[in-house]
Structure 1
C-alpha cells in the first residue's frame, strides 16, 4: 500500500505558519487581551473573511461591524454627555463664586468696582457694564468715578439695545454675537467685544429698568443656542442686590 501524505486542512497549521512560542504562550495565557482590543479583532475578522473567499458572505462578520459602529456612536455620545456635564458644573461654580463675591460688598462703590474686577474674572468675561435708565441723565461726580463700569441712559434704551429695533419678545437674558463697535455702552472697549450677554434688570415698582452687560472678546463665549438658566439666576441675585442699594 502506498502511503499518502496528509495535506494540512483548514484547521491544521504547519510549523511555518505557527506563531513563535513566546507569542503563542502569551495569547494562550491571556486570550482576553485579544478580545478587548478592537483593532486586533477587526484584523482577525478581516483575515477570516479573506480566507473564506469572495463568494462567501459572512453574516456574522457584518453583524459585528454594525454592532461595532453602534458601539462607537454610543461611546461618542457618552463622551459628549460627560463633557457637557463637566462644563455645566464648571459654569455653576463660576456663577456661585461670582454671587458670593457680590454679597461680600459693604459699600455701593465697592460693589460696582468688584463687577469690573473679580466678578468679571470669575465669569470669564472682558467687560462688565451696568446701564441704568434715568429720566434726567446728568453729569454726576459719582458716575464719573465709576465710568468704567456704570453708565446712564435715557428711558427706553434697554429695550432698544436688546431688541435692536426688532419686534421680538424682550427676554431677561439674551446671548449673542456682536459686531465690533466704535462706541456704545462698553466705552473704549467696544471695538474688542465680539459676543455679549444682556441681562435685563427689574428694580421694582416705580423704578426704571436697567441692564447688566457681559462682554467678551471671544466670539463664541455667548451664543443664542446656549442655555440661560445660570445667567437668569445671576441676574435675579444682581437685581436683589441692586434693590438693596437703591432703597
Structure 2
C-alpha cells in the first residue's frame, strides 16, 4: 500500500523563506528610493544655489563653499581652461594649473567618471589625501568659452548606484556649464 508524504510543512517553510526574501528586497528598494530622492533633491538645491550667484566669482564661491554642505561632500573643486590659461578653484581659493595637463585630463573623461580611489585626484589639491570616492564631471562649453572638470569627493567609499548617480552628476555638470556660459557671455547679468 502507498504511503502519504506530508508536503505541507516543507511548502510552508519554503513560502516563509520566499516571503522573507521578498520583504528584504522591498526594504532595500524603499531605502534606495529614499536615498535617490534625497540625492535628486540635493542636486536641485545645489543648482538653484548656483543660479542665485550674481557673478562668476559668486558662482565659484557657491560651487566650492556651499555645494559641499548642500551635497554632503567633503571636497569640491572646479578646474577650467580659459584660453591659454588653466586654473582650479576650491575652498582655499584659486590657483593656476598647467592648461595642457588639465586639457589632457579633461579629454580622458567622457561625461562623468564615478569611482572609489585610494587617493583623490590631484585637482582636489591638499584634500586629495582624504578622498576615497570621487566623481570627475566634464564641464563642456564651445570655444572660446572655458572647458573643465568639476571634481567632487568624499572620505567614504561609494555607496550609490553608479548609473543613477552618473545621470544626476551629468545634470549637475551641464547646469554648471550653462551658468558658466552665461557668466562669461553676459558678465553683468546674474549667473
TM over 0.5: yes
Query: Quick one: which of 205, 211, 218 aligns to 2:156?
Result: 218
| Per-residue deviation, residues 161-218 of structure 1 (Å, max 9, x unmatched) | 674xxxxxx421110122226x821122121112111010111244452111102111
1:1-247 matches, cutoff 5 A: 57-134=5-82, 136-137=84-85, 148=92, 150-151=94-95, 152-155=97-100, 157-160=102-105, 163=108, 170-180=109-119, 184-207=122-145, 209-220=147-158, 224=162, 227-247=165-185
**Larger C-alpha radius of gyration, 1 or 2?**
1
Of Structure 1 and Structure 2, the greater strand share is in: 2
CA distance in 1, matches of 2:156, 2:107: 19
Q: TM-score under structure 2 normalisation?
A: 0.81
Distance 1:122 1:158, change over 3 A: farther
CA contact (8 A) 1:132 1:153 kept: no
Which blocks of at least 5 consecutive residues in structure 1 are unaligned?
A: 1-54, 164-169
CA distance in 2, matches of 1:215, 1:100: 21
- State the partner residue of 2:189: none
Which blocks of at least 5 consecutive residues in structure 2 are unaligned?
A: 186-191
CA contact (8 A) 2:75 2:153 kept: yes
Bigger RCO (CA 8 Å, 6+ sep): 2
RMSD: 2.8
